């Protein structure tokens, strides 16, 4: 089973959440058939040559819909430099005696820069007069 390609955009310093439907092959309309024996992992790296992950997503599987949701909170995304990365979602099937790993989705992740990373996006900021700084 080959993976599908989908590019994503992550706003630096913001919460990220996106749900993907998992299919049995890139050209198929048949869903993969996720069950309780499946587990998803997703990472983002600067290139395929880099061994360190720039971001490891929290993942969750919804069996009824054959979907995988990736999440990263604003604290995590604020620590990622803006730019282009590669990401992939790998599903591990533990049904057999040996786990089977399949890359089900991959693509380019673009992290857009934030002007205020680490300040007003991570705390409740107010001006000196008590007014909001979010104008």
Q: Which pLDDT tens digit goes with each residue over 107-122?
A: 999 999 988 755 554 4
33 confidence band (pLDDT: 50, 70, 90): confident
Cα–Cα distance, 22 to 64 (Å, whole number): 12
Is 38 domain-assigned?
yes
Is 132 domain-assigned?
no
131 confidence band (pLDDT: 50, 70, 90): very low
Is 40 domain-assigned?
yes
Cα–Cα distance, 12 to 124 (Å, whole number): 17
Q: Is the pLDDT of residue 134 over 90?
A: no
Is 19 domain-assigned?
yes
**Which CATH number fits the domain that encloses residue 65?**
2.60.40.10
- The mean pLDDT value for 81-90 works out to 97
Q: What is the pTM of this model?
A: 0.79
Is 70 domain-assigned?
yes
Is 128 domain-assigned?
no
* Dihedral (Cα; 30, 36, 37, 39), 10-degree rounding: 80
Number of domains in the chain: 1
Q: Which of 34-38, 109-113, 114-118, 127-131 has the highest mean pLDDT?
A: 109-113
76 confidence band (pLDDT: 50, 70, 90): very high
Is 126 domain-assigned?
no
Is 121 domain-assigned?
no
For the chain, give the mean pLDDT: 85
Domain assignment of residue 87, given as a range? 4-112
């Amino acid at each position: 089973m080959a993976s599908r390609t989908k590019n994503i955009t992550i706003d630096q310093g913001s919460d990220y959440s996106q749900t993907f439907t998992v299919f049995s092959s890139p050209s198929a309309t048949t869903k993969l058939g996720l069950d309780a024996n499946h587990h998803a992992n997703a990472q983002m790296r600067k290139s395929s040559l880099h061994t360190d992950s720039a971001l490891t997503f929290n993942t969750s599987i919804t069996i009824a819909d054959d979907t995988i949701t990736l999440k990263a909170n604003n604290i995590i995304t604020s620590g990622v430099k803006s730019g282009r990365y590669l990401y992939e979602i790998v599903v591990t099937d533990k049904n057999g005696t040996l786990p089977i790993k399949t890359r089900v989705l991959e693509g380019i992740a673009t992290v857009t820069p934030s002007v205020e990373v680490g300040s007003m996006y991570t705390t409740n900021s107010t001006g000196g007069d008590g007014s909001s700084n979010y104008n």
